[in-house]
Amino acid sequence: MQEHWSEFRVSNDCRDDAEELRRRLADEGYLFFKKLQNPDKLRALRSDMTRIFYDCGWLVAGTNPMDGIADPAKRCTEGDLEYNAVYHRMYRLESFHRLPHEPELTALAERIMGRPALALPGKKARLWFPKFTEHTTPTHQDFVHYQGTYDALTCWAPVGDCPIELGPLAVLPGSHKTRKVLDHHFSLGAGGLVIRVEEIVREFPELNVPWHTTNFELGDTLFFPALTIHKAMPNRTEDRLRISLDNRYEGEGDDIAQHMLEPHMADVTPLSWEEVYADWKTDDLKYYWLKAKHRAVPRDMGYIEKGFSEALELARKRDKRGILALRRVLLSNPASQDAKAAKAVLDEIGVAG
């Protein structure tokens, strides 16, 4: 793969042209818009979020929370219990859940799909500490994590300016045209699964092209379908926390995987919707998806199970990445079958859990 990157194609010129939006999405596998979202609403959300991060000690004492100056001693990531403790406190924010329902987002999703669209309730934020490169979101397709339908749209946007050095999202243009879920392997990054692009290029040489990304400004927004290959650029800043939103839209009537109807990471640290809603001032978005036409389907755990099997094998070879993954499983869910398997392998190689 070439190491350099190219700028996203900007689609503001066809924002109201459904036919052209669909043509570009079918051709390139993404749609990028400058200033699609209201910057003032995003600033207000950033204020809500960063105040929690500051109060929880993630940000340096005495700094302005809005600046997102991270304390490197507090570095953690998805799968760490200390991460979930802060993340689930943030997850209770009504402003966090309300923003994906703003008309500029839902109307665009409906224009692309040609039918009513539902913002999935399992909304997500991505919070990345600086110089934590090994845990950067790896190259992957969203379908392995969110499932339901290939036609689901991911909507990614930073909550604050996100220049290249802070780690915005990048996509591999045209990669959705494989029309299949590609082989994923174990990774330490978010989601725990990675595509080895050199393997894919051997099968699809047309994908040996530069990644597309940009220096995101507040309000810039990226849409792409579930089979588009993408990744996060590493956060190479000295001290800034990268904060972004990662939401999904499905067309009315499409299948929704059951776990996407639950709070994010509730499978790692329990969190109910009643707990999420406890301090909300309004009721209109509570359980809103129950009014929509959709079918909940079981989650296919095969992708995760394959990645965990690879982590076990890496740990047996004393690979530090595999050992770290097994230790996380032991800490997060010690009574699970995976934890028992992890402990057995760690005991086998004489490493403490």
| pLDDT score, position 1 | 39
pLDDT, tens digit, 9 for 90 and up, residues 230-284? 999 999 999 999 999 999 999 999 999 999 999 999 988 899 999 999 999 999 9
Q: Considering only CA atoms, which of 7, 89, 29 is closest in space to residue 54?
A: 89
| pLDDT score, position 3 | 56
Q: How far is CA 101 from CA 41, 109, 188, 283, 344, in A?
A: 12, 11, 31, 14, 46
Given its phi and psi angles, is residue 68 left (phi above 0), alpha (psi -120 to 50 degrees) or beta? Answer: left
| DSSP for 46-97, written as a single string | HHHHHHHHHHTT-B-TTS-GGG-BB-GGG---TT-HHHHHHHHHHTT-HHHH
Q: Considering only CA atoms, which of 144, 157, 134, 195 is closest in space to residue 8?
A: 157
Is 302 exposed, middle or buried, given 0-12, 13-18 or 19+ CB atoms closer than 10 A?
exposed
133, two tokens: 């490169």
Domain spanning 5-298: which CATH class is it, in words? mainly beta
Strands 295-297 and 169-171, by their bridges, are unpaired
Domain boundaries, given as residue ranges, for the chain: 5-298, 301-353
With beta carbons less than 8 A apart as the criterion, state whether 49 and 97 touch: no
Q: How far apart are CA 305 and CA 12, in angstroms?
A: 41
Q: How far apart are CA 256 and CA 223, in angstroms?
A: 18
Q: Could you say which residues of the chain have pLDDT below 70?
A: 1-3
Q: How far apart are CA 215 and CA 171, in angstroms?
A: 14
With beta carbons less than 8 A apart as the criterion, state whether 31 and 21 touch: yes
174, two tokens: 């045209």
Could you tell me the pTM of the whole model?
0.95
Q: How far apart are CA 313 and CA 330, in angstroms?
A: 16
Partners of 242 in the β-ladder: 128
